[in-house]
Structure 1
Amino acid sequence: MATNSLYTDLSRYYDLMCEDIDYLSQSHAIHRLHQMFGNGGNHHLDLACGTGPHVRHFLNYGYQSAGLDINQPMLEIAKQRCPEASFVKQDMSMFTTQSPIDLITCFLYSLHYSDGLERLKQCIQSAYQALQVGGIFCFNVVDKSKIKRDSFVRHSVEREGANFMFQSGWRYSGSGDQQFLDLQIERSADSSTQSWKESHPMVAFTFLELKMMLEAYFEVHIFEHDYQKIIPWDKESGNAIFVCIKN
């Protein structure tokens, strides 16, 4: 069986890789949290927006939405999906906005893309500065102390006569402030397989460490990582949704 390197622009495969993600439920849950904790405003910014699927749902809810990402090819796809939204290429660790925001979101654990704890702190500061009083910053994260060795998720998709296999998983050495997101894509067609692998360095922290960073700026609430129910974090699970209110 022939094997060669898959074209490494992830934007080409991003939507296929994320096809099993329930963007509607995720967006609706954060919309509800914003209704509960927010200031009633409708200016929304999605950090690390990718190809814009979450932005599409917030537009449908009546928000004036914008997206931010460092990947220009993904932003081009997002513009096609959401022509009425604005998109900008910026690093979420040090971003600015032209006008105050009421809701900032960061889905799919993307806050971990901050390169180290100092860059994470800069991201938190940027979010605080961009928000209106009473605005909220919502995101999901994983606690480094809860990452299980060799834990991963995998799914397959059939498209245009080919089978795509996508696999991703967290990897943490057990010490330090760096973990990795390991990604693998395989495309099989006509008795040949193309493969692509990459390990993304991600910032690692415990929820207690993160909460202490956030409380310098926000009132912090932590919820279970369940987009069907809004319930407080059980203090045991390793995934959670953070809701941070600017007072």
Structure 2
Amino acid sequence: MRHLFHFGVFYVITPSSNALYTDLSGYYDLMCADINYQSQSDCVRRLHQLFGNQGKRHLDLACGTGPHIRYFIDTGFSSDGLDLNQPMLDQAKLRCPEAQFSLQNMCEFVVDAPYDLITCFLYSIHYSGNIENLSACIRSAHAALKPGGVFCFNAVEKNLINNNSFVRHIVQHEGSEFAFKSGWFYSGEGDRQALKLSIEKTTDKVTEEWHDDHPMVAVSFKELEELLEPYFEVTVFEHDYEKLEMWNTTSGNAIFVCVKR
């Protein structure tokens, strides 16, 4: 039996090629247990104070189970979320009952009323999949913002990806040990890269493994700025949520702050 993992779903592949689909929303927070959601949220709030219109209506794209939204609400924002995975949104609603959640594709979403701040954390902008969809996501965000509104997200520069670099963390949960590993892979050409994911679950000394290469859009920061500039004034910062420094033009991760034109 072979196990694959796609974002939000386990695919258990049997020798007969029949797939059993098991929702992974209950494990999402374990996968992200090493993330400092408060630090990320606080940093983007500071950026919004510096660059934005001072409004408090916030939308989080690809919100997952809503941990960023929880911090925004707790600091006085009226926050909502959008995701493609309904079980994730169900978890988010439990965490943030004050928020409104929408099952939509971030590349073609619409809103009932405009927002002051739109965020997309955890490199989720790359889930656009290709340049055409990424462009549509940018247009959708622009249309959903009030004048002077901010679109803020983090991204990885395709030409600076180290295919041999991975991050790994281990979490204990309900009698099992989970080891999560992820890393970027880029072939060196085109607009597609992969997020390589693996999960090991060990229970009573028996280990199961899941592996997947999730397709993502590959983009250089120059290309990304060119896509954004017709719609936004763009400022790029180093990928450091603890202090604000302008991007040094050589690091492969950055935070984009985009003010609606």
Tell me, yes or no, if the aligned pair for 1:182 and 1:200 is still in contact at 8 Å.
yes
Contact 2:198 2:212 in 1 (8 A): yes
TM-score, normalised by the number of residues in structure 2: 0.92
RMSD: 1.2
Structure 1 partner of 2:189: 175
Instruction: Determine if contact 2:163/2:183 at 8 Å carries over to the other structure.
Output: no
| Equivalence for 1:78 | 92
Structure 2 match to 1:63 = 77
Aligned counterparts of 2:25 and 2:148: Cα–Cα separation in 1: 35
The CA distance in 2 between the partners of 1:10 and 1:160, in whole Å, is 15
Q: Conserved in 2, the CA contact under 8 Å of 1:4 and 1:193? A: no
Matched, 1:107 2:121: yes
The 3-state SS of whatever aligns with 2:189 is coil
Moved more, 99-108 or 11-20: 11-20
Q: Percent identity?
A: 59
Can you give the 5+ residue segments of structure 2 that lack an aligned partner in the other structure? 11-22
Alignment gaps of 5+ in structure 1: none
Partner SS, residue 13 of structure 1: helix
Q: What are the Cα deviations for residues 160-206 of structure 1, in whole angstroms up to 9, with x where unaligned?
A: 22110000000000111000001111110112112211111000010
> 1:4–1:194: 8 Å Cα contact kept in structure 2?
no
| Shift in Å, 1:5 | 3.4
Report the count of equivalent residues. Answer: 245
Greater RCO structure (CA 8 Å; 6+ sep): 1
For 2:154, what is the secondary structure of its paired residue? strand
Candidates 14, 18, 21, aligned match of 2:35: 21
C-alpha distance after superposition, 1:126-181 (max 9, x if no partner): 00000000000000000000001211100101122211000000000011100000
> In structure 1, how many angstroms separate the alpha carbons of the residues matched to 2:96 and 2:229?
34
Distance, in Å, in 2 between the alignment partners of 1:36 and 1:121 is 26
Counterpart of 2:16 in structure 1 is none
Cα distance in 2 for residues equivalent to 1:114 and 1:201: 9
Question: Counterpart of 1:225?
Answer: 239
2:3 is the counterpart of 1:5:
yes
Tell me the SS of whatever aligns to 1:234: coil
- Tell whether the 8 Å contact from 1:48 to 1:68 is kept in structure 2 after alignment: yes
